[in-house]
């Protein structure tokens, strides 16, 4: 890891640069597959499953039998862990329910918002080396709580045309309605446009490789809403002399093992802690199964020494990390100063893994600095707030003349007329 000692603030914007994300090269492939799925539906999806996932499928939807079979293949320990995580995620997201307030903005004018679930949502769960069942819980649990009627999930099958049993178990616990064995661009296309087997959805959630990311971007422009733009996962840890070097090293490594493009940042005010962290990283890394990935990620990563915790938070806010760990005893003095972050972990016991799996917060979070403008997935992500207004005759008297004046000045006479005709009937 690169250690930067007390850099000048003028260098900060350079220090927090993320690696550039380039997806335009993939654009042709992505467009071709999306168009094909839009026009040819299931037939195209089967074809791409054979081509990209090397799976010859007879049907796209996971059957009741497959669900039952999977249930028997998941260990009791894992099942209990999934239930515990689901319970905590449910508790946190249930408490995000919106309570509508009726507001009389002027005499006779009553306005309110109503939270209504998005009727159909699609969740994407990537395949690859490990089955991301935790993401199934994170995306489906709030969808169910919000009241989405159709919650579908697409995930690539293995070469035998099967989906990992833990993904199926998590989907069942969280309340997914239909699961499809579809991966990559073709999954995003199927959910965005609908096919004979796959219902069209209104919003697509979930992580994926650069092809999935590019496909979500493309359908997100016009066809369907998406959760947020994507980028590699990242963590920023703030530490002082009270911090535990071994905990910091473990937390940095837990982020670094995600992928070679992961970025980890340690902002510290104690040089002796930094030196001990470096030694701890070395010894912990040596025994990690994914040490090749993690050590590559560490090469992109930085340790920055700053003069005090205020500067540390200032730099962290500028970076806008997906995950921020305040691994210090005095975290309570710093919480109010955080303005840009996805999810924040407070104190020595709150490691990122806690929130990745089971604390109850969502782990689908804005990466790549998007935290300056985006929230992580939460109950709001699955609803719309429709506004309502009711006017009485008194309401027309309260605001009618102002509406007419403004409409006339905007040269919209028909807008003025719609109010004038009512004003005339009242007077």
Q: Residue 204 Cβ, how far from a second copy at the closest point, in Å?
A: 10
Among 48, 133, 180, 211, binds a second copy (CB under 8 A): 133
Q: Which helix (H) or strand (E) holds 426?
A: helix 413-426
Q: Determine whether 102 is an active site residue.
A: no
344-363 binders of a second copy (CB under 8 A): 344-362
* CA separation for the pair 373, 364 (Å, rounded): 15
Tokens 């703030």 sit on residue: 238
Q: Where are the beta strands (DSSP E) in 6-126?
A: 103-106, 109-117, 120-124
Q: Which of 114, 110, 113 is nearest to 390 (CA)?
A: 110
Is 309:334 a contact under the CB 8 Å cutoff? Answer: yes
Q: Is 300 in the site for a second copy (CB under 8 A)?
A: no
Question: What are 160's two structure tokens?
Answer: 């035998």
Residue 136 or 305 having the CB closest to a second copy: 136
Give the 3-state DSSP-derived string for 187-202, with helices as H, strands as E and coil as C.
HHHHHHHCCCCCCCCC
* CA separation for the pair 309, 315 (Å, rounded): 10
Q: Is 131 in the site for a second copy (CB under 8 A)?
A: yes
Is 264 in a helix, a strand, or coil? strand
Q: Residue 65 Cβ, how far from a second copy at the closest point, in Å?
A: 23
360-379 binders of a second copy (CB under 8 A): 360-362, 370-376, 378
Among 253, 268, 273, 304, binds a second copy (CB under 8 A): 253
Residue 46 or 135 having the CB closest to a second copy: 135
For residue 382, say whether it is annotated as part of any ligand binding site. no
For residue 415, say whether it is annotated as part of any ligand binding site. yes
Q: Is 339 in the site for a second copy (CB under 8 A)?
A: yes
Among 2, 17, 95, 241, binds a second copy (CB under 8 A): 95
Among 9, 27, 51, 385, binds a second copy (CB under 8 A): 385
Determine the size of the site formed for a second copy (CB under 8 A): 124
218-237 binders of a second copy (CB under 8 A): 220-222, 224-225, 229
* CA separation for the pair 112, 99 (Å, rounded): 10
For residue 36, say whether it is annotated as part of any ligand binding site. no
* CA separation for the pair 253, 219 (Å, rounded): 34
For residue 340, give every residue at least 6 positions away whose Cβ sits within 8 Å of its Cβ, in sequence order, or none: 316, 317, 318, 319, 320, 321, 371, 372
Is 389 in a helix, a strand, or coil? strand
Alpha helices in 156-270 (DSSP H): 165-174, 184-193, 210-222, 245-256
Is 326 in a helix, a strand, or coil? strand
Q: Determine whether 323 is an active site residue.
A: yes
Residue 187 or 298 having the CB closest to a second copy: 298
Among 64, 65, 409, 427, binds a second copy (CB under 8 A): 409
Q: Is 419 in the site for a second copy (CB under 8 A)?
A: yes
Give the interface segment with a second copy, choosing from 48-56, 150-158, 254-262, 306-314 (CB under 8 A). Answer: 254-262
Catalytic residue, candidates 323, 327, 363, 368: 323
Among 88, 300, 301, 367, binds a second copy (CB under 8 A): 88
Binding site members: 124, 186, 209, 233, 255, 258, 323, 356, 410, 415
| Catalytic (active-site) positions | 322-323
């Amino acid at each position: 890891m690169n250690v930067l000692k007390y850099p000048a603030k003028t260098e900060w914007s350079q220090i927090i640069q993320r690696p550039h994300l380039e997806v335009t090269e993939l654009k042709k492939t992505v467009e071709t597959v999306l168009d094909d799925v839009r026009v040819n539906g299931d037939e195209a999806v089967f074809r791409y499953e054979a081509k990209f996932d090397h799976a010859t499928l007879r049907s796209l939807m996971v059957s009741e039998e497959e669900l039952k079979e999977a249930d028997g293949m998941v260990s009791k320990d894992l099942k209990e862990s999934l239930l515990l995580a689901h319970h905590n995620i449910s508790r946190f997201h249930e408490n995000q329910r919106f309570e509508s307030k009726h507001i009389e903005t002027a005499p006779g004018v009553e306005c309110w918002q109503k939270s209504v679930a998005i009727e159909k949502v699609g969740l994407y769960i990537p395949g690859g080396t490990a089955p991301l069942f935790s993401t199934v819980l994170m995306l489906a649990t709030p969808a169910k709580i919000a009241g989405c009627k159709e919650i579908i999930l697409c995930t690539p099958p293995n070469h035998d045309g099967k989906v990992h049993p833990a993904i199926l178990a998590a989907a069942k616990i969280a309340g997914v309605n239909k699961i499809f064995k579809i991966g990559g661009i073709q999954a995003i296309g199927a959910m965005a446009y609908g096919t004979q087997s796959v219902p069209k959805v209104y919003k697509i959630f979930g992580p994926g490789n650069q092809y999935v990311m590019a496909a979500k971007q493309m359908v997100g422009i016009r066809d369907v809403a998406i959760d947020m733009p994507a980028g590699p996962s990242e963590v920023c840890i703030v530490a002082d002399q009270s911090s535990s070097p071994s905990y910091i090293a473990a937390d940095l490594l837990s982020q670094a093992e995600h992928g070679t493009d992961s970025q980890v940042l340690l902002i510290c005010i104690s040089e002796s802690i930094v030196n001990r962290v470096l030694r701890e990283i070395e010894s912990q890394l040596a025994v990690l199964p994914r040490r090749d990935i993690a050590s590559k990620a560490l090469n992109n990563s930085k340790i920055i020494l700053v003069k005090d915790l205020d500067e540390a938070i200032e730099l962290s806010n500028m970076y806008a990390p997906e995950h921020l760990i305040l691994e210090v005893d005095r975290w309570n003095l710093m919480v109010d100063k955080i303005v840009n972050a996805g999810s924040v972990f407070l104190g020595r016991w709150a490691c990122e893994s806690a929130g990745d799996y089971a604390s109850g917060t969502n782990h689908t979070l804005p990466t790549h600095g998007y935290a300056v403008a985006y929230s992580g997935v939460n109950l709001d992500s699955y609803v719309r707030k429709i506004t309502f207004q009711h006017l009485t005759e008194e309401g027309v008297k309260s605001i009618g003349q102002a509406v007419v004046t403004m409409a006339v000045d905007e040269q919209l006479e028909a807008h003025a007329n719609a109010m004038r005709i009512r004003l005339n009937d009242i007077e």
